[in-house]
Amino acid sequence: MFKKIRKTIESHRNSEKIYWKFLVLVKDFFWRLSEAIKSIFNYIHYIKEFFLVIFLNIKSLHSNKLIAYYGNAPFVFHAFETIYKKIKNKYEIYFIIPSKKREAENYKNYLIKQGIPKNKIIHSNYGKLINWKIFISSWIVEELPLKIFKTKKIQMYHGAGTSVFQENLKIKSNYRILENLKKFDYHFMVGPQYEKALEKYCDSDHRFPVGYPKLDKLSNKKFNFKKILKKISFKNKNLPIIVYSPHHIKYFSLNKFGLKLIKLMLKMKINLIVKLHDHIKRVYGYKKFNSKLLKMEKKYPNLHIAKEPDSTLYYPIADVVITDVATSAGFEAIICDKPVIIFNSKKWFKIHGKLNYIEKKLEKAVYVINSPKELPRMIKYALKNKKEKSPQRKKVVKEVYYNLGTATKEAIKVIDKLMKN
């Protein structure tokens, strides 16, 4: 009797083992099948890119109207956006995405959302094999077209600061950046500070006082910035709006003080917009930090985490802007004549030295603090005295930017000239 029962139990166990083995085999089969399909699609993609390289190179031999713009993050796209919209029907423009897989996917998806056709997006591994008439970047990139081509390479930059030109042993990456900078033929200078900084790297006839096209909309009275407020659901819309736009560098305010700093501001009677830098994603522990921040957004009705990568959309609707010493945010917010509070960083000036006189110049037009304890008092003061530093702000804007409001037109003039030659 017991032997029969034992045999039936063992047979059930064996059948279960066979069943689970079968499931594992089926799962493995479908995994291998999906991988095979992926690899087939990848090969098709590679073949398409290969033929596109041949097609564009043949096209360039007849009438070369090919322009490439390299970017590696959504905010870099916006540096070129206004130019692109004006010349997209005049020239054939392609967008080069970086070789790093994660960056490439994020940037590609964002470009598609912005209405860039998929067939106008090319991976940098293929982009450098094409004989572009002009190659433009606002990032000092290594992935440039091959030397055999006579491509005119334009560097247009993405901010007012000139710290990138600092030849300093304490910044490991800077020598490589400066070597890449020398490979560009022409430079669109954001402001007069670039004249001095670029003296070593190119002749005066290869430097153009263009300005920063991205900022044209800040001086355009017709541009509707209030539409951004419709995407923000603050409970009490009568409270003053504070925009916190920190840098991603490890020794700046966000990484030094973290969520405590944001919680400190949320105790005040304000509406807070936190605009994180695109490259904060590169910082270790970002995912954990971001998930905590999104939980806070649900908890606090006066907190909004900005989703738009273009930070300039938020400065016109702000009452006060808070940022770090070396970001573009401070220089951009004063264009809107907004009070700006900056977290000081002695380490930044120690590393970058005398060349960063422009950041020292900004200090005259903003309120500088050293610790979170000073922040609530300074926010209250800035809200009460919005016009106190208005003359200084306007003066610095004039000293730092060329052609504010018309930089896009100036850039297109240079591009048209270089396309003809």
Q: How far apart are CA 165 and CA 183, in angstroms?
A: 14
Is the separation of the CB atoms in 168 and 352 below 8 Å?
A: yes
Amino acid identity at 1: M
Per-residue confidence in pLDDT tens, the chain, 421 aa: 545 545 554 555 556 666 666 677 777 777 777 767 766 766 676 787 778 788 888 888 877 799 999 998 898 999 999 999 999 999 999 999 998 877 888 899 999 999 999 999 999 989 999 999 999 999 888 789 988 898 999 999 988 887 767 665 455 556 677 788 888 999 999 999 898 888 888 888 999 999 999 999 888 766 777 777 777 888 898 999 999 999 887 778 888 888 889 999 999 999 999 998 877 766 656 677 888 888 998 999 999 999 888 899 899 999 999 999 888 899 999 999 999 999 988 777 777 665 556 777 888 899 999 999 999 999 999 999 999 999 999 999 999 999 999 999 999 999 999 999 8
Amino acid identity at 279: H
CA distances from 276 to 107, 244, 362 (A): 17, 8, 21
Q: How far apart are CA 108 and CA 120, in angstroms?
A: 10
Domains, the chain, with CATH or none: 50-212+406-420 (3.40.50.2000), 218-400 (3.40.50.2000)
Nearest to 379 by CA among 278, 289, 270: 270
- What is the value of pTM for the model shown? 0.85
Is the separation of the CB atoms in 53 and 44 below 8 Å?
A: no
Alpha helices in 63-200 (DSSP H): 74-87, 101-113, 124-127, 174-181, 193-198
